[in-house]
Amino acid sequence: MTVELGAADLLRLRMRALGLEGLDRGAHGAARSAGSASDRDRDHDDPAPERIASTARRMLASQGQDWRSARWALGVRTPGSAVDDVTAAFNRGLIVRSWPMRGTIHVVAAEDIGWMQGVTGHRVLAGAPKRREFLGMSDAALDALVETAVEAMSGGRSLDRDELSEVWTGAGLEWRSNWRYHLIWWLCQNGIATLGPVVDGEPRLVLADDWIASPRRLEGDEALAEFALRYAGARGPVTAKDFAWWTGLTARDARRGLALAAEAGRLAPLRVADSPAEFWAAPEALDELSGSGGSGAGSRAGAGSRAGSGIGSRGGAWLLLPAFDEHLLGYTDRSAQLDPAHFERIVPGRNGMFLATVVHDGRVVGTWKRGTRKGEDVSATALPGERLDAAALAPVAERWGAFHGRSGTAIAVA
């Protein structure tokens, strides 16, 4: 029968699925500092880049438009890792940066990008002709620019944005500076290219068929069910509305994907107290909650059971999460993680630019950024009505600093 959870266990299940539970209890360890990224690229027995890739694979996709934040989103979920390990994971072809859905760039496991685009691509590509019309780009110009770019990347070569521009100019093609983003997106969205190896700090454009060694081949209902399962598994209890928004799928396809995964026994329905929506989660997640003291999943045989324990009863965990983190971006209704009254403090002007957040006990209680004053590496500001614990945040800031190769990271709290 359908489980009913309370708000505390909803939050706890989400934190666990997001890979954010238990990170306050020393799970991070010290980030490794031996060797440069290029040194470690030559050592394919090094497990850290593999663990970064495993995190990316488990998350299915994490927002990648802010490069610094995208790397920390993987690092915060991968205890003991360093930023060079993310670089190594890119350079080994384990992860890529591309556009799997919603016309938004994400970091994904390399083998997943193709089948994901097969599910979602038709939705975003439908609007491309209108965009090119706005930009003043003809179909003939598009074809010539794409053909030239592909030729320049053939044979395993890679290009950065400026080199791509030089290729077009050198070929005598007409192009405009405001076309470049659309063209890179078009190459990646169609699975022709992807952003792979990292040189001078950012991923470079390569041909996807050359770079991705072992792409998964999923189509139709199998791909849709996999999408639903992997999304729900990495976000905790979610609704069909969440899934449709996150993927850009129609509401009908989102419901179908969840139903297909449920028919295979890989997702289970549940209810959350005071919510009319139907939620979905992996059955094993509910079993784990039962075993760890949550009362909601522990009463799965009886409808209407409510969870009374949760993340808050286990002591307060502090986290510094990056901008655009899936902790908030993974859902349409974020009220379990963030008081809706504070939304505009996280997304000023509701402009879509999510700030980095301070999280306590699974809830957003402040924002943070790199420090601007002497002797201040991290600066954190509490939301109205909240208080930040500087002593508790100090080791959290130290872990962020260690990931970036810093020591003695200092945090200022306001």
The pLDDT tens digits for 93-152 are 999 999 999 999 999 999 999 999 999 999 999 999 999 999 999 999 999 999 999 999
pLDDT at 340 over 80: yes
229 and 304 fall within a common domain: yes
308 and 330 fall within a common domain: no
Average pLDDT, the chain: 89
Give the confidence band of 23 by pLDDT, cuts at 50, 70, 90: confident
Query: For 3-12, what is each residue's pLDDT tens digit?
Result: 889 989 999 9
> What is the domain extent for residue 266?
3-19+220-312
153 and 197 fall within a common domain: yes
Query: For 180-236, what is each residue's pLDDT tens digit?
Result: 999 999 999 999 999 999 999 899 999 999 999 999 999 999 999 999 999 999 999
Distance CA 169, CA 50 (A): 39
Average pLDDT over residues 336-358: 95
201 and 268 fall within a common domain: no
The answer to whether position 199 is within a domain reads yes
164 and 198 fall within a common domain: yes
Among 263, 287, 312, identify where a domain stops. Answer: 312
pLDDT for 363: 97
- Percentage of the residues of the chain whose pLDDT score is greater than 90: 79
170 and 260 fall within a common domain: no
Q: What is the CATH number of the domain that holds 157?
A: 1.10.10.10
User: 13: which 2 tokens?
Assistant: 């299940």
133 and 199 fall within a common domain: yes
162 and 224 fall within a common domain: no
Beta carbons of 77 and 20 less than 8 angstroms apart = yes
pLDDT at 35 over 80: no
Give the confidence band of 46 by pLDDT, cuts at 50, 70, 90: low
The answer to whether position 31 is within a domain reads no
341 and 300 fall within a common domain: no
Average pLDDT over residues 243-265: 97
132 and 207 fall within a common domain: yes
